[in-house]
Amino acid sequence: MTTSDIVTYLAPGRRAHLVGIGGVSMAPLAEVLHGQGMVITGSDARESATVEHLRSLGIPIYIGHSAENLGEAELVIRTAACHDDNPEISGARARGIPVFERAQAWGAIMKGYKNALCVSGTHGKTTTTSMCTHIIMAAGLDPTVMIGGTLPLLGAGHRVGHGDTIVLESCEYCNSFLSFFPTIAVILNVDADHLDFFKDLEDVEHSFRAFADLVPEKSGLIVANRDDENTMTTLQGETRPILTFGLEEGDVHAQNLSYDHGLPTFDVVCRGESFAHVTLQIPGEHNVRNALAAAAACISLGVPHEAVEKGLAAFRGAGRRFEKKGMYNGAAVYDDYAHHPSEVAALLNAAMGLGYKRVICAFQPHTYSRTHALFHEFVEVLSKPDVTLLAEIFAAREDNDLGISSKDLAREIPGSEYFPTLKALTARLRELAQPGDLILTVGAGDIYTAGEALLKE
């Protein structure tokens, strides 16, 4: 089934059943389709605040999966986590009900908007999509938004707007962004990641090139990171218009960059002209790049300089992106979703410039395949903090066929400590915390609960 097939099904009055409706990009999808007049039902593995919210809109949701949940559905949309052996998927196929991927549904929705701003990249997608949202909202464009994290401005990870612009975080995993129809495609960086799906870096680059090639040849635009070698390699020979951004070079770049207590201030220069003066409320050089990417994308949408200045000044980070959780025994406790060595390095470089006495990093690797493939990079970057605590690997979607453990990392990282449970790790954080420390819980799994447990005391 292709995305073009699904377009005919997404019409007012049609009945769609969403499998895994409580997921980060499934819930907003349900809300958008419901808002367009479709009859939506759904199922999820467990109760959650998201499920409750959707029910409050009048969407019936079943807990647990059964073919009977399909009811009178005319199509089924599934999250990537639900496989063919799910009883609702196999039940739909048995009844001849078409089954579509979540990304195909978003692709079909995006066709209805004049501007589809799709933010891709191995790292920084959530932050940059959030920054774009802030700027576009400041410009009064009333966008529809889909972000893979919570944005305080929206009180959620999504927004259903009535303007002609849609902003989407666009993920390369399983090539899902190849179902999209971007008019502006942002590529923040290209790195070897998701190696449980991609063969190698070249395979990842091939996927991003295919994404860039989805942009309309005449009317579309690619916004690309000039500082990232892999991005530039990916786009070699590209005939579509490209607007580059970079720290010091590129069509859009920073000038007069300075830091005050780790927070950057700079001028945004666009094609030789000074466009905006920006002060960020989040630290790190990587966030200067993210802000330049967001500014470049929004400039191409025609937003005024005031919107760039106001939008970025008001942005204080997305959920789980250097998010302050509280104070414990005089130590500041922050949480971050970084799970690739490049992301952890950017986070630690920013954190270590903030003037804390010690940086204590509690890291939980995410997936066995990533830990195995990037083992030496993890050892190198996790040797940087003053104290490194390692939680066991978060399995996510995998079985441990590689026989790897965080214990293996701990053996290679001087002074690091390994904890088989988060409870034991939390107890160690409690012993370590001193006034002036920065405690970071880091990873894409459930490591954030260690920091939350510490603060509950």
What is the per-residue pLDDT across 57-98, written as a single tens digit (0 to 9) for each?
Answer: 999 999 999 999 999 999 999 998 788 999 999 999 999 999
Residues annotated as part of the active site: 125-126, 169
126 vs 148: CA distance, rounded Å: 6
Domain limits of the chain?
3-102, 113-314, 323-456
Instruction: Check whether 160 has a pLDDT greater than 90.
Output: no
Per CATH, domain 3-102 is 3.40.50.410: no
For residue 3, what pLDDT is reported? Answer: 59
Whole-number Cα distances in Å, 213 to 181, 188, 198, 237, 428: 10, 16, 19, 11, 50
Instruction: Check whether 1 has a pLDDT greater than 80.
Output: no
CATH number of the domain at 113-314, please? Answer: 3.40.1190.10
Rounded to 5°, the CA angle 417-422-424 comes to 60
Give the fold, CATH level 3, of 323-456: Protein-Tyrosine Phosphatase; Chain A (3.90.190)
What is the per-residue pLDDT across 349-403, written as a single tens digit (0 to 9) for each?
Answer: 999 989 999 999 999 999 999 999 999 999 999 999 999 999 999 998 789 999 9
For residue 435, what pLDDT is reported? Answer: 98
Strand partners, 439: 333, 360
Q: What are phi and psi of 403, to 5 degrees?
A: 60, 35
Instruction: Check whether 231 has a pLDDT greater than 90.
Output: yes
Domains 3-102 and 113-314 share a fold: no
What is the per-residue pLDDT across 298-320, written as a single tens digit (0 to 9) for each?
Answer: 999 999 999 999 999 999 988 88
Yes or no: say if 443 and 338 are a contact pair by the CB < 8 Å rule: yes
What is the per-residue pLDDT across 275-296, written as a single tens digit (0 to 9) for each?
Answer: 999 999 999 999 999 999 999 9
Measured distance between the N- and C-terminal CA atoms of the chain, rounded to whole angstroms: 52
Mean pLDDT estimate for the chain = 94
Mean pLDDT over residues 323-338, rounded? 95
What is the per-residue pLDDT across 239-269, written as a single tens digit (0 to 9) for each?
Answer: 999 999 999 999 999 999 999 988 999 999 9
For residue 449, what pLDDT is reported? Answer: 94
Q: Which residue has the tokens 């975080």?
A: 169
Share of the chain above pLDDT 70, in %: 99
135 vs 146: CA distance, rounded Å: 15
Token pair for residue 230?
């892999």
Yes or no: say if 215 and 185 are a contact pair by the CB < 8 Å rule: yes
pTM of the predicted model as reported, rounded to 2 decimal places:
0.86
Yes or no: say if 81 and 102 are a contact pair by the CB < 8 Å rule: no
pLDDT band at 4 (very low <50, low <70, confident <90, very high): low
226 vs 44: CA distance, rounded Å: 42
Q: Which residue has the tokens 């949480």?
A: 335
Length of the chain: 457
Instruction: Check whether 2 has a pLDDT greater than 80.
Output: no
Yes or no: say if 88 and 163 are a contact pair by the CB < 8 Å rule: no
437 vs 203: CA distance, rounded Å: 41
Strand partners, 438: 332, 359
Q: Which stretch of DSSP H or E encloses residue 258? A: strand 252-260
Yes or no: say if 63 and 19 are a contact pair by the CB < 8 Å rule: no
What is the per-residue pLDDT across 34-53, written as a single tens digit (0 to 9) for each?
Answer: 988 999 999 999 998 889 99
Least confident range of 193-202, 336-345, 408-417, 424-433: 193-202
